[in-house]
Chains A and B, each alone.
Chain A
C-alpha cells in the first residue's frame, strides 16, 4: 500500500505526476462519489459532483498549503457544499408523490428483488430528510467523519451536529419503521 501522504501527493499532482493523480483518486474518489450518491440520491449526479471536486483539486493543487487542513476533510467540505448547492437549486421541484412508497411491504418474487426494494426505500428515506440533517447523517454515519470533522465541514458547532443527527435519525426511525421491525424479526428467527 502506498504510504505517501495526501499532502505529498497533491504537491506531485501540481507537477503533473500521473501516478500521484491515480493514487489520490484510488484513495478518495469512491468515498466522494458515495457521499454524492447519498446526498443526491442518484449515481449520475454523484459522479458529476465528484468530477467537479477533483477538477478543483487539479486546478488548485499548486496552491495547496500542507498542514493547514486535512486533505480528506477539505474534499468532504467541497463535495458537501456542492451537493447542498445542487439541492438548493432543485428545491421545490421534487414531487413527493413520485418518491417510492416507504410504507410498502409487499414481498418481492425473490430475495434479490427484496434487497433492491429495501435499498431504494432507504435511499428515498434519506432523500426525504432536510438537507442539513441529511448532510450530517451522510458525513457522520456513512462517511465515518468524527463529530468534530463533521462540524468543521458543515461550519457548525459539535452540539449542532449532534442535534442535526438526532433529528435525522428520529425521522429515519419513523420512515423506516417497517424495515427496522422486519430486520429485528429476521434476526430473532436466525438467532
Chain B
C-alpha cells in the first residue's frame, strides 16, 4: 500500500530538495507525486520550487582542461611488468621537475641554487656568518595552499586514504 504524505510534509520535501522528483527521498517520491496530481496547493509549491531550481541551474560550470587530463595521465601508475627497473623513469623525473618548476627550463634556477650554495659555503668558511632559519619562513611556506598542492602532486601523497584500506 502506498504511503501518504501531508501537504506540510510535501512543503518540507520541496523546500529541501526542490521541484524535481528525482531528487526527492526514494521512500516518499510516489506519495509526493500522487499528492501533486490531486492538490492545487502542492502544484503551487512545486512551481515556486521549480523557479528557484531554474535560477540555480544557471550556476557556471566548465569542462576540465585538457592540461589537467594530461597531467593525470602522466602521473598514472605504471605496471610492475612494464617497469622492472626500480630506478625512476625519465617521464617521472620530467613530470616531477615540471611540477616543481613549471616555468620552462630548470637549468637557470638550478644553477642559481648551486651558485648560492657555493657562495654560502665559501662565506661560511671565511667568516662567522650563520644562516638563520626563522619560524616565520617555515610557517609561511606551510600555509601556502598552492605549494601544498605542488608537493602533493610531486609526491602523490600517500596520506589520507579515507576508508580505502578498511
On A, residues with C-beta under 8 Å from B are: 13-18, 21-22, 25, 29-30, 33-34, 37-38, 43, 47-48, 50-52, 54-56, 58-65, 68-69, 74, 77-78, 81, 86, 89-90, 115, 118-120, 122-123, 126, 140-142, 144, 146-147, 158, 162-163, 165-166, 169-170, 172-173, 176, 179-180, 183-184, 187
**Contacts known (A118-B58, A122-B59); A48 close to B79, Cβ less than 8 A:** no
Contacts of B149 in A (CB 8 A): 48, 51-52
15 contacts between A and B (CB under 8 A): A48-B149, A51-B153, A55-B72, A55-B75, A55-B157, A65-B165, A122-B59, A126-B59, A142-B56, A144-B22, A146-B26, A166-B15, A170-B15, A172-B52, A184-B51
When the two chains form their complex, are residues B63 and A30 in contact, meaning their CB atoms are under 8 A apart?
yes
Interface size class of B (residues with CB under 8 A): 35 or more
Q: Which B-chain residue is minimally distant from A63 (CB atoms)?
A: B165
When the two chains form their complex, are residues B156 and A169 in contact, meaning their CB atoms are under 8 A apart?
no
**Contacts A34-B61, A176-B56 supplied; 12 other A-B pairs, CB < 8 Å:** A21-B73, A25-B72, A29-B69, A48-B149, A50-B64, A59-B157, A74-B162, A77-B162, A115-B58, A140-B17, A144-B22, A170-B15
Contacts of B12 in A (CB 8 A): 162, 166
Query: By CB atoms of chain B within 10 A, which of A14, A55, A115 has the most?
Result: A55
**B29: min CB distance to chain A, Å:** 11
Contacts of A50 in B (CB 8 A): 64, 68
Q: CA–CA, A48 to B162, complex, Å?
A: 19
CB < 8 Å neighbour of A55 from B18, B26, B82, B156: B156
* Interface flag for B77 (CB, 8 Å): yes
**Contacts known (A48-B149, A78-B162, A144-B22); A29 close to B58, Cβ less than 8 A:** no
When the two chains form their complex, are residues A37 and B17 in contact, meaning their CB atoms are under 8 A apart?
no
Q: CA–CA, A40 to B55, complex, Å?
A: 19
When the two chains form their complex, are residues B15 and A120 in contact, meaning their CB atoms are under 8 A apart?
no
When the two chains form their complex, are residues B64 and A30 in contact, meaning their CB atoms are under 8 A apart?
yes
Please classify the interface of chain A as helix (H, G, I), strand (E, B), loop, or mixed, using the class held by over half of its residues. Answer: helix
Please classify the interface of chain B as helix (H, G, I), strand (E, B), loop, or mixed, using the class held by over half of its residues. Answer: loop
When the two chains form their complex, are residues A21 and B76 in contact, meaning their CB atoms are under 8 A apart?
yes
Contact flags B88-130 to A (C-beta < 8 A → 1, else 0): 0000000000000000000000000000000000000000000
On B, residues with C-beta under 8 Å from A are: 12, 15-18, 22-23, 25-26, 51-56, 58-65, 68-69, 71-73, 75-80, 82-83, 143, 145, 149, 152-153, 156-158, 160-166
